[in-house]
Amino acid sequence: MTHNIDTQYIRLLGSQLGLFKEKGNKVWNFRCPCCGDSQKSKVKARGYVFQKKNDLFYKCHNCGVGMTLGNLIKHVDPNLHKEYIMERYKANTPNNNEKPKFEFKKPVFKTNTEPLKFLKNFVELGEEHPATQLLQKRMLPTQFYNDLYFTDGFFEYVNTLIPNKFPTITGDHPRLVIPFFDENKKMFGLQGRSFGSEKPKYITIMLEDKPKVFGLDRINLKEKVYIVEGPLDSLFIDNCLAMAGSDMILDIKDSTIIFDNEPRNLEIIKKMSDTIDKGKQIVIWPDSIKEKDINDMIVNGMSVDEIHKIISNNTFSNLHAKTRLIDWKKI
Ligand SMILES: [Zn+2]
């Protein structure tokens, strides 16, 4: 019955949204709280909440931002969001009546995004910021701008989460902060990607002792899961996780592993071979593809659809995969 909860909460949120109107047929229209909508015209309202499958989604036709209703509520009113999450949680819990009471008291919702409290996401940062321009250059889908964060001093930021993680902050610099969330949208780690030539390009910081996996908050385990190497690459592929530097192949039955396109990298070739030995499906990129990873393919002009097609046409397993791997590797 999350349905009714969604409707109830978009109406509640409406009091805080400019020019809020219920249009009927599960459509609501208002001024976009992310971009502020038109600055010239105070009567323009280009934000829409609408139904998609069983959930409500938000889309702005001015700034292009798109997100779940939950994230919209979180953006406008974090306190209302906590209530909303709690209501949905209760409604989604099977055997509601038998549920022991203490489970509702877990503080998990209060601290979910606590590690991000002092950072701005890229919707808040705005288009003019140089860091946002890097995201644009990498052509990252704008619907993820509110799940990616910016810090102007990565070492100092990490030290606020894990005291003395970086004993010296000499050479501190800005980074893109990519949070790792679990299924309950609780943050358990992060990856910092440099904007310039600072090395290493990616630094992974774990807040809990868990596998370094990105995207657990977004995937549906009942459907086929794709697994890539890099978090940013995973944003282009449907139902996709990233094993952020972890060697662990998740124990997900219906999964396809997509390694980077590095036929000269012995370490990757070895991992691919091991993955095939475990009976997993893997993607081996066709020889015509020169780019190293999915994000590079996008930047060089390939569409997401083309990439999905290449992936499905180049998925192999067992003997077929073995033969193709021998063909593909360049060393
Ligand atoms: Zn907008």
CA distance 201 to 292: 15
Distance (Å) from CA 34 to ligand 1 centroid: 5
Ligand 1 centre distance from Cα of residue 43 (Å): 14
Ligand 1 centre to CA of 13 (Å) is: 16
Amino acid at 227: I
Query: Domains along the chain?
Result: 2-106 (3.90.580), 114-210 (3.90.980.10), 225-328 (3.40.1360.10)
Residues 293, 268: Cα–Cα separation, whole Å = 13
Residue 289 Cα to ligand 1 midpoint, Å, equals 36
| Separation of CA 60 and ligand 1 centre (Å) | 5
Residue pair 139/298 in contact by the 8 Å Cβ criterion: yes
Tens place of pLDDT for every residue, the chain, 331 residues?
567 889 999 998 998 899 999 988 889 999 999 998 988 888 899 999 998 878 899 999 888 888 999 999 999 998 889 888 888 877 775 543 433 333 333 333 345 678 898 899 999 999 999 999 999 999 999 999 999 999 999 999 999 888 888 888 888 999 999 999 998 889 999 999 999 888 889 999 999 888 889 999 999 988 999 999 999 999 999 999 998 766 656 678 889 999 999 999 998 999 999 999 989 999 999 999 999 999 999 999 999 999 999 999 999 999 999 999 999 999 8
C-alpha 22 to ligand 1 mean position (Å): 18
In angstroms, the Cα distances linking 325 to 20, 233, 255, 330 are: 56, 22, 19, 10
With H, G, I as helix, E, B as strand and everything else as coil, classify residue 242: strand
Distance in Å, CA 274 to ligand 1 centroid: 46
What is the whole-number distance in angstroms between the Cα of residue 222 and the centre of ligand 1? Answer: 33
Query: Tell me, what's the pLDDT at 249?
Result: 61
Instruction: State the complex-level ipTM.
Output: 0.98
The Å distance, Cα 154 to ligand 1 centre, comes to 28
Q: How far does the centroid of ligand 1 lie from the alpha carbon of residue 58, in Å?
A: 10
CB 73 within 8 A of CB 81: yes
The Å distance, Cα 65 to ligand 1 centre, comes to 6
As residues whose CB is below 5 A from the ion ligand 1, the structure lists 32, 34-35, 60, 62-63
Per-position DSSP letters for 148-197, written without gaps between them: -EEES-HHHHHHHHSTTSSS--TT---EEEEEEE-TTS-EEEEEEEESSS
Task: Give 66 Cα–ligand 1 centroid separation in angstroms.
Answer: 9
Q: For residue 59, report the distance from its CA to the centre of ligand 1, in Å.
A: 8
Q: What is the DSSP string of 205-225?
A: EESSSS--EE-TTT--TTS-E
Expressed in angstroms and rounded, the spacing between residue 62 Cα and the centre of ligand 1 is 5
